[in-house]
Structure 1
Amino acid sequence: MPAPDYTRSRAYRAAACTHLPFGVSSTPRGRQSPVPVVIEEAQGVHLTDLDGNRYIDFTLGYGPLLLGHTPDCVQAAVTREMARGLRTATVHRGEAALADLLADCVPTAEQTAFVTTGTEAVQLALRIARAATGRLRIAKFRANYHGWIDNVHVAGAPDNDGPCTIGQDPAASANVVLFDWGDAAQLAALDSSFAAVILEPAAINPGCFAPPPGFLDAVRTMTRQHGIVLIFDEVITGFRLGLGGAQQRYGVLPDLTVLGKVLGGGLPIGAVTGRRDIMHDVATGRLLHRGTFNGNPLSLAAGFAAISHLRTHATTLYPRLDAMAAELCAHVNTQAMRAGVAACAQAVGSAVQLFVGTKGLTCISDLTQVDRAETARLTDALLQRGIYALPRGLMYLGTPHDDTDMATTRHALSEALETLRTPPTRQGP
């Protein structure tokens, strides 16, 4: 098939690199192959780039846009809020309104503190846990992502316990102890020196892994036994796996929950929500929780509109998304077998992960089998066929995806998997 024209995106990238490091504002965006495409317009789940190429979007802003790029309810709410003035760094009614709504939706949301990003929310949750326990040590699981701040930006892969990037301060993670996600036996190492255990309850970021049976219950039992604050990082899973997130889906309740992404309806937001007694130091003002843009009116208005919509339609919306994701995985696995290529897909809720180099994974340690370069080649082939997925193979489904979108995507996946039968073109020295 003829390759799409990326002339204008290439020209933009070359010019942008003059004053914008790497030509982007977040490093992963600059790694798209064959070139980071410049998106000019987004409607629903359809994108148009600078060269006029059109795509069905399965990145959805790296997950936040569960309702798509232009949901009417969010647009109307933000427009109304803009007319009232930005009111940055003031007290306004939108703060309590969204906190009250979260209390109705998330099982453990007795109190909520808002910040601007999920990364900040993680740091606030850890500070709250240290204050509540008087301890310093933090248990983190390999390949779980909790933001890019040095103290937790370690062990980004199951076979590498070190910092995730150059320039990190090794001392920042001195109080972090690493465990293997899904391995309940290792939890015996927990004791009363730990302030918190933080984890993705469903590990979507490393590759859409559902928790093994009994694992979350074991984490809850051990943390309760030793008086450790249990933190669920639901930045991705919150409102994606259901209205009550992973904690509702799997029936295990943490002490604190970190939220973001879908919570903002497409605008920047983060939140820590949890038990009233653990939030006590925030409530009394003893624990400092600062930020000029914390609880900004536009994000809260967008979030209130989005979560209200999800609550109204939850009984039909989530089963439909889960079913579409399961169907997409089944198609990939069938077509990979027919094409004779080692590739597979797995899903948690409405998040789907494509892998090349393996015919199936059972745990996070199996990620060492994955051929990252070939997975990127698969998503490159999808891009050329008008399917916009994250280069590492992660695909997020949203409510605007319809039967036509999914049929087109299945057809593109069949063709893209066939391209893997041809060895990749090797670059010269």
Structure 2
Amino acid sequence: MSITSKQAEPELGEKSLAVRTKLIDRTAKCEEVARPGQAALAQEVVQTVDLPHQIYIDSAEGPYLIDMDGNRYIDLTGGFGPNVLGNKPEPGEVAMASQIKKGWHYGIPGDGQARLGELIKECAPAVDEVMFCNSGSEATMFAFRAARAVTGKSVVALFDGSYHGVHDYALVKADSKSDRSTPSSTTLGAGIPEEVSKELMMMLPYRDTNAYELIRKHKDNLALVVIEPVQSSNPRLDNQEFLQGLREVCTECEVLLIF
């Protein structure tokens, strides 16, 4: 959830409003830091708690986050994805401490990169080669480009409600005015040419077999279909049949598929 301090007060029930007011009262130190921070930083307040100011985390351990005011939160986002072992796992601390003694940024690859690549291949037999990127946005940007280069096609399809980064080709969503089963696409924010969403990107309905027919219909121009198997914004686990069907349709249509 992204909230800005300039947004209007949301419509809340009496109990929800009381909880929100209590949280505001309990995060005074965070608010004190947030005032100059919001003035200095060109970014929105980004958090999962609906408050008018940023919550600043002081420390984290296991499944918990502790803010500057000492409030403890259960971390349900896992660092928005990467903290699969929880916060500050001991094996990670030991490995990082060992590496810091040897240096932490070489530019030229270190030996650990090759060893990690081999380990990933062992864990994921379908993987032939591994490429390390600086961010998830960079990874999907390279993937989109590679798919277009290999296939000679230009259109990439995403599923409504998905998140694949912050580059122009990922910041596309279904137009709320369109039919959910056959959604048209529009850009997610200013600064992205509308042509990107209308000519180079395509939206598909998540967990809806109409997606299969849309892939078949547009297969001649479709370079790639990208999907979060379990969407971060809609974490349902009852989609195995849909994913298997998607795999079969993409194979049938000779369209690349990325999970």
> What's the TM-score bracket when you normalise by the shorter of the two chains?
0.7 to 0.9
Are residue 220 (structure 1) and residue 240 (structure 2) matched? no
Q: CA deviation at 1:123?
A: 1.0
Question: Which amino acid in the other structure matches residue 198 of structure 1?
Answer: V
1:19 corresponds to 2:46: no
Separation of aligned partners in 2, 1:75 and 1:21: 32
Residue 6 (structure 2) aligns with? none
Residue type at the aligned position of 1:195:
A
Is the CA contact 1:201–1:211 (under 8 Å) kept in the aligned structure 2? no
When structure 1 is superposed on structure 2, of 9-18 and 46-55 the one drifting more is 46-55
Q: Give the structure with the higher percent helix.
A: 1
1:194 correspondence with 2:200:
no
Mapping 1:254-403, distance limit 5 Å? none
What's the CA shift for 1:153? 1.0
- Aligned residue type for 2:205: D
- Note the residue ranges of structure 1 that are not aligned, 5 or more in a row: 233-429
Deviation of the 1:155 alpha carbon: 1.1
1:51-62 maps to which residues of 2 (within 5 A)? 51-62=69-80
Per-residue CA distance 1:125-160 (angstroms, 9 max, x = gap): 111211221211112211111112112211168667
Which residue in 2 is equivalent to 1:172?
A: 196
Gaps of 5+ in 2: 1-18, 179-184
CA contact (8 A) 1:202 1:211 kept: no
Over the aligned positions, Cα root-mean-square deviation in angstroms equals 2.4
Asked if 2 retains the 8 angstrom alpha-carbon contact of 1:8 and 1:51, the reply is yes
Percent sequence identity is 26
- TM-score (normalised: structure 2): 0.78
Distance 1:54 1:181, change over 3 A: closer
Aligned match for 1:111, one of 129, 133, 147: 129
Higher relative contact order (CA 8 A, sep 6+): 1
- Give the aligned partner of residue 126 of structure 1: 144
User: 2:51 and 2:138 mapped to 1: Cα distance?
Assistant: 30
State the shift of 1:75 in Å. 0.6
Q: 1:54 to 1:218 in 2, by over 3 A?
A: closer
Q: Secondary structure at the match of 2:130?
A: strand
Alignment pair present for 1:150 and 2:168: yes
Offset at residue 49 of structure 1 (A): 1.9
- Residue 83 of structure 1, aligned match among 101, 104, 111: 101
1:163 to partner: Cα distance:
1.6
Cross-structure match for 2:4: none
Deviation, structure 1 residue 31: 7.0
* SS of equivalent residue, structure 1 residue 21: coil
Q: CA, structure 1 residues 148+211, in 2 after alignment: closer, same or farther (shift >3 Å)?
A: farther
Q: Does structure 2 conserve the Cα–Cα contact (< 8 Å) formed by 1:6 and 1:35?
A: no
CA contact (8 A) 2:175 2:186 kept: no
| Deviation string, structure 1 residues 184-227 (Cα, Å, up to 9, x no partner) | 23322322321111111222x22112354532222222211222
2:206 matches 1:185: no
Q: CA deviation at 1:48?
A: 2.5
Q: Secondary structure of the residue that 1:113 maps to in structure 2?
A: coil
> 1:84 corresponds to which letter in structure 2?
K
CA distance in 2, matches of 1:180, 1:56: 31
Query: Residues 20 and 31 from structure 1, CA distance in 2 versus in 1: closer, same or farther, beyond 3 angstroms?
Result: farther
* Corresponding residue SS for 1:41: strand
Whichever residue aligns with residue 178 of structure 1, its letter is M
CA contact (8 A) 1:135 1:194 kept: yes
Which residue in 2 is equivalent to 1:29? 47
Size of the aligned set, in residue pairs, is 228
Return the offset for 1:43: 2.2
Equivalents in 2 of 1:145, 1:157: separation in Å?
16
C-alpha change, 1:159 and 1:93, in structure 2 (3 Å) is: farther
CA distance in 2, matches of 1:64, 1:150: 22
